[in-house]
Amino acid sequence: MEKNDLWQAALAKLEPSISRPNFLTWFQETGIAGIEGGLATVFVPNGFVKEWLQNKYHKFILHALREITPEIKDVSYLIARPERSGHAPLAKDPVKKRHSPADGTPLSDDLSIRELSVNPETNLNPRYSFSNFIVGSFNELAYAAAQSIIKNPGTSYNPLFIYGGVGLGKTHLIQAIGNEVLRQNAQKKVRYVSSEKYMGEVVDALRNQEMNNLKEKYRSVDLLIMDDIQFMARTEKMQEEFFHTFNALYEKNKQIIISSDRPPQAISTLEERLRSRFEGGMIADVGTPDVETRFLIIKTKADEKGVVVPEDALRLVAERIKTNIRELEGVLNKIVIHSKLSNSPVTKESVEKILVTHALAPKKFVSGKKIIKVVCDFYEIKERDLVNSSRKKDFVRPRQIAMYLMRDELKYSYPSIGDRFGGRDHTTAIHSCEKIAEELKRNFELEEEIRLIKERIFSE
């Protein structure tokens, strides 16, 4: 097979498992430079893409290539321009045709309706405000820090680092800060960005030789809000780039707000310089709301929607839905739709039914493989190291956690757990599970880590 065709075929295999904007960001202007002695060399436009493909997609790329050409044993990456042999490597790809910036179509067909109200200048969504943000003991520290920043940006709490699990209001809170700062002073330059979008912008800017513009864009703001920074931690070059922007702003006393799913010290691949910068500011967590707060949240949201739900029905929802606020909203939406469709008032009984169906709704497919994958992603280690025999502490602990989760969530037998981890004895599996279960009783940090891992297992 001709190398260009081979690459197109491999991309066709990769594409369905990657979101479209991501696919375009990381695979544009890539191709195969050559294949020699089982080694395929993939050319990439710059070092950012190189690092990202190596760290994040290497396994998938190799797998896709080998499915087509089994002789390929490994892949290396090379920074190079595509050969000028007529068309650019992705040109024949139908996906590229649909989204190609060449025909002037931006990626905007990926925007959902909700995102359409996003201000393109600031990236802020006006729906996130403090007027619809409920404060309780679970988020009061983060809230207080936010208020203090609005009063005195760039001084006392810089940077502000907010962390917590999925659906607990991090994005809402940090965007609300941006919206409020602008409400008080429309002259301020505020920019919100998720780390994934930021990485895409950096890669695009490099491709179009617009890096100076991009630097200027980020270094001229009064308030920079970077959401979900944990995704950036996989790539050193990106962190390096961000570090310079961070410093440029910091030195000018411009406010920086960062969010993550865990505290800086728990992001193992976070560059030391960034970590110590983050730790030099204010770090606040967002926990899970207690039942009273959940009740208040769902009541407020029902009122906002103008739907009448009896108090006992709302209580029922608050008692049952414990994990996160996004799920609370989801159930409320179901209640609203149900009442509209059936054209009848909401009662405790009708809500009870909805809750039962909600609880029975098929959970996302969870397998042992998935647990291994998520645990490895979480601790940023290779699957090989998790299942194999290494006794290094970095691997032993995640391995015990993965074993524990297989037992606890999937009820796997101990011998089968041992098998999955390089044929270990079942007594090792028992020991691991018991150790983690025992430690969970007193180690709060471990409890938090396992909660985050479970969230990922069930949400992805």
Q: Which residues are annotated as a binding site for ATP?
A: 167, 169-171
Please identify which residue in 133, 237, 338, 415 interacts with ligand ADP, judged by CB under 6 A. Answer: 133
CB of 225 to Mg ion, least distance (A): 11
Which tokens is 442 given? Answer: 């007193």
Any idea how long the chain is?
460
In angstroms, the first-to-last Cα distance of the chain is 35
Please identify which residue in 31, 89, 159, 167 interacts with ligand ADP, judged by CB under 6 A. Answer: 167
Q: Rule CB under 5 A: which of 88-127 touch Mg ion?
A: none
Does residue 168 touch ligand ADP according to CB under 6 A?
yes
Q: Could you tell me which stretch among 72-80, 126-134, 179-187, 403-411 binds ligand ADP (CB under 6 A)?
A: 126-134
Nearer to ligand ADP, 172 or 420 (CB): 172
Q: Could you tell me which stretch among 268-276, 325-333, 373-381, 440-448 binds ligand ADP (CB under 6 A)?
A: 325-333
CA 166 to chain centre: 9
CB of 435 to ligand ADP, least distance (A): 31
Q: How many CB atoms are located within 10 Å of the residue 51 CB?
A: 17
Does residue 297 touch ligand ADP according to CB under 6 A?
yes
Residue 297 interacts with, from Mg ion, ligand ADP, none (CB under 5-8 Å by kind): ligand ADP
Q: How many CB atoms are located within 10 Å of the residue 448 CB?
A: 18
Sheet with strand 282-286: strands edge to edge: 190-194, 223-227, 255-260, 160-164, 282-286
Residue 426's identity, in one-letter code, is: H
Q: Is residue 326 a contact partner of residue 289, using CB atoms and an 8 Å limit?
A: no
Residue 168 interacts with, from Mg ion, ligand ADP, none (CB under 5-8 Å by kind): ligand ADP
Does residue 329 touch ligand ADP according to CB under 6 A?
yes
Does residue 294 touch ligand ADP according to CB under 6 A?
no
CB of 259 to Mg ion, least distance (A): 7
Does residue 175 touch Mg ion according to CB under 5 A?
no
Between CA 190 and CA 176 the distance in angstroms is: 12
Does residue 171 touch Mg ion according to CB under 5 A?
yes
- The β-bridge relationship of strands 255-260 and 39-44 is unpaired
CB of 452 to ligand ADP, least distance (A): 12
Identify the burial level of 345 via C-beta atoms within 10 angstroms of its C-beta, where 0-12 means exposed, 13-18 middle and 19 or more buried. Answer: exposed
Q: How many CB atoms are located within 10 Å of the residue 5 CB?
A: 12
Nearer to ligand ADP, 8 or 171 (CB): 171
Q: Is residue 273 a contact partner of residue 305, using CB atoms and an 8 Å limit?
A: no
Q: Which residues are annotated as a binding site?
A: 167, 169-171
Burial 326-343 (b: 16+ CB within 10 A, else e): ebbbebbebbbebbeeee
Nearer to ligand ADP, 153 or 164 (CB): 164
Nearer to ligand ADP, 96 or 299 (CB): 299
Query: Closest residue (Cβ) to ligand ADP?
Result: 169
Does residue 166 touch ligand ADP according to CB under 6 A?
yes
CB of 342 to Mg ion, least distance (A): 33
**Is the N-terminal amide bond of 70 cis, ω within 30° of 0?**
no
State the DSSP code for 421.
T
In sign, the C-alpha dihedral spanning 171, 174, 175, 180 is: positive
Instruction: Give the SS3 label for residue 226.
Output: strand
CB of 335 to Mg ion, least distance (A): 24
Nearer to ligand ADP, 164 or 368 (CB): 164
Does residue 332 touch ligand ADP according to CB under 6 A?
no
Q: Which ranges constitute the DSSP H helices of 321-425?
A: 325-342, 348-360, 368-379, 383-387, 393-410, 414-420
Does residue 321 touch ligand ADP according to CB under 6 A?
no
Please identify which residue in 50, 96, 99, 170 interacts with ligand ADP, judged by CB under 6 A. Answer: 170
- Contacts to ligand ADP by CB under 6 A: 132-134, 139, 164, 166-172, 297, 325-326, 329
Which residues of the shown chain bind Mg ion in the complex (CB under 5 A)? 170-171
